[in-house]
Structure 1
Amino acid sequence: MAIKSNWQTRIFQFVIIAILILLALAVLFPFLLTLSSSFASDNELLMESAVLWPQDWTLDAYRFLLDNDQFTQSFKNALVITVVGTAINMTLSVLMAYGLAQPDVKGRRLVNFMVLFTMLFHGGMIPTYLVVNELGLIDSYWAIWLVNAIIPFNMIIIRSYFQTLPKELKESARIDGCGEFKILLRIILPVSMPTLVTFTLFYTVVNWNTYFQAVLYLNDADSYPLQVFLRQVLIVNPSELGLVITKSGYMFTESVRHALILLAALPLIVVYPFMQRHFSKGMMMGSVKG
């Protein structure tokens, strides 16, 4: 019976590993195809939209994008939206989560209900636009930052994690004369770093991929983030948008489009390995304690 059970375990592990390898290849293959095609020449991509191994490797597509003012401006806009937006998201989410995690806060249940209510019912696009317009935030990044200042689900998970922390941590700090703000900064945040890094990554992805709200609230094309520029190049005819403006006559060919896709994903690809350790630990904490 032990031998049979051992064989069954090995077969099960083999099937799981095979499935994971297939899933990894399904994710990795399009990325490699895009990467290699971005280094291909335009003549090679005239017949095929993508190649796995270019015959002539070239950096023309990347040189063109780095020399293109619209690309560099949209990339800078995306960085500003992401960095400032994520800072606002995490600051407000942590402050609200810490306040709602305190059992002695008056009106805590009502505020919790209001937060949950926004997860089930939303005012809608038109009422939100009217509020943003009345506040005079059209054509301002504050329209993007304030509308998504707190994602209720993320805040609730952070609050739930704060509630699992030992009460002795805060009680000992209060005995030493620390106020609530010092307790949050010096005790709660350091021990909650894996969870905070996890949701920082979530907010970063949301802000970096901002598209719909940028189109909705921003009228100035110079303020558009990278995702809007990416959509214009990939879907809309670039010649109709004034995007084919080059001294050398070079234009948004297939190789440039592949390079643009890769550069749009590159910041998150670069950041994730540095956050992976905290991210994995934070996900485990959220699943067990949250």
Structure 2
Amino acid sequence: MDKTKKKEASVSSALSAGLFQLPFYPMTYVKVLIQAGHEPLPPFRSRSLFGREQFFYPNNFSYMRYIYSVEGLTGLYRGIGMKIISHSVATFVYDKVNLMLEETEQIEQEEKKDKNDDKFIVFIKQSSKEITARCWGVVFSHPFHVMGLRCMAQFIGGETAYSSWNIFHNISEIYRSEGVLGFFSGLIPRLLFEASTIALTSSLAYLIKTYIYEDKDIDALIDLFSSLISNSITYPLSVVSTISCISGSALMAARPPRMLLYSSWIDIFRNLYENNELKRGASSFFRVYQPPNILQATGFSLGQVPTNRAQKYLSKSE
């Protein structure tokens, strides 16, 4: 009876975590399109915080306004179903694995005579447990994550190959064009992103709390600071993972002239590094303009090809 209640509570909390994505989804959607290299709106000249004159892309809210003008309110929630399912599955698996690891740890502690572990040992165990649980959540939720990202990327070409809610339709589409491996496109950089972010966050927080400022009243602030720093460092892996999930599909967003044909996620990382684009989408405001990558063989600008929808929107704005 108790086990059933725990399971129902876990499912309920996982679904709640998925539905929590709703208010913030448009911003997530815009971030994915920017990470994929889609910049439909032209840059403008302005001054930076330090007074330097340079070109900037319109901020994320302007990008959202553009999507709204093209597809309406529902267009801002393209792929929301897959996002909710992905996040719910990840949360559910994370909770279950975490519970299993805690039970195993309790059994080990009961068998030990000396139950007082060193502070560093406790830190290692907690970090390892968090990384393990999070990575299992990522693995099980990844196929839905891929479906969600491809739903979003459809906006670039105005396609309807992937559904926001029909899982079976998406499964058929991916399996038909890429086979089983298509469901796990971009999994390795995503796992690396999650694991490295947790490791850096916990390590930085541990060092600050142990050697710099030992005050439990501000532990939450230290954790937040550590998380912000770590996410900034590991963010390039998030960009690589997003592109990897979209790359290889039959979508226009994954084909030249909007995206190169990559052989692996390492190839994506190398290309973005060479073109100084590993921070795509990291900022919602003051988005510094990056000159497009001109392909020598064809002469077109990669990733910034204007669409008819963008041209109509700009003409109306004028």
Q: What is the TM-score when the length of structure 2 is the normalising length?
A: 0.26
Considering Cα pairs closer than 8 Å and 6+ residues apart, tell me whether 1 or 2 has the greater RCO: 1
Structure having the larger proportion of residues in strand: 2
Between Structure 1 and Structure 2, whose CA radius of gyration is higher? 1
Q: What is the TM-score when the length of structure 1 is the normalising length?
A: 0.28
Structure having the larger proportion of residues in helix: 1
